[in-house]
């Protein structure tokens, strides 16, 4: 896991996917239902009254996975920030520059602002 989090692209990538998953889960929770269309069948409306277990599993699952991915993205960003502050004489120099980390943080902030300001 640490080798995967060592790349500066992972933090914004995971964070953005977390935002998307949590936004879908929150939209389903706010709306109170979602439509499921099987491949060879009629569309079904899944809600707490028609199929409560499935509704809460999908909604809660999307929210939980989204929040977990957001937490991992923030953790990866903090690890990148700490790794970029290694002293000059250290043997474990990071494989990226401070500019790369700043660009990754810009992507995270841009995605957050875009998600919060979007009107559906």
pLDDT tens, per residue, the chain with 120 residues: 566 666 677 777 888 889 889 988 988 889 999 888 888 889 989 999 988 899 999 999 999 999 999 998 888 777 777 766 656 555 555 555 667 767 777 877 787 777 777 665
Per residue in 63-79, pLDDT tens?
999 999 999 888 877 77
**Angle (CA) 103 1 11, round 5°:** 20
Tokens of 11: 């933090």
CB-based contacts of 25, cutoff 8 Å, min separation 6: 58, 59, 60, 61, 62, 63, 64, 65, 66
Q: How far apart are alpha carbons 86 and 51 in whole angstroms?
A: 53
- Supply the pTM of this predicted model: 0.66
């Amino acid at each position: 896991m640490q080798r995967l989090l060592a790349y500066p692209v992972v933090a914004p990538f995971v964070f953005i996917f977390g935002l998307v998953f949590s936004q879908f889960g929150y939209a389903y929770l706010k709306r109170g239902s979602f439509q499921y269309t099987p491949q060879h069948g009629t569309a079904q409306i899944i809600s707490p009254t028609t199929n409560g277990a499935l509704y809460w599993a999908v909604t809660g699952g999307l929210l939980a996975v989204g929040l977990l991915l957001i937490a991992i993205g923030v953790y990866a960003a903090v690890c990148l920030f700490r790794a970029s502050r290694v002293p000059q004489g250290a043997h474990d120099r990071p494989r990226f520059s401070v500019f790369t980390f700043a660009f990754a943080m810009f992507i995270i902030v841009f995605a957050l602002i875009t998600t919060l300001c979007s009107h559906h």
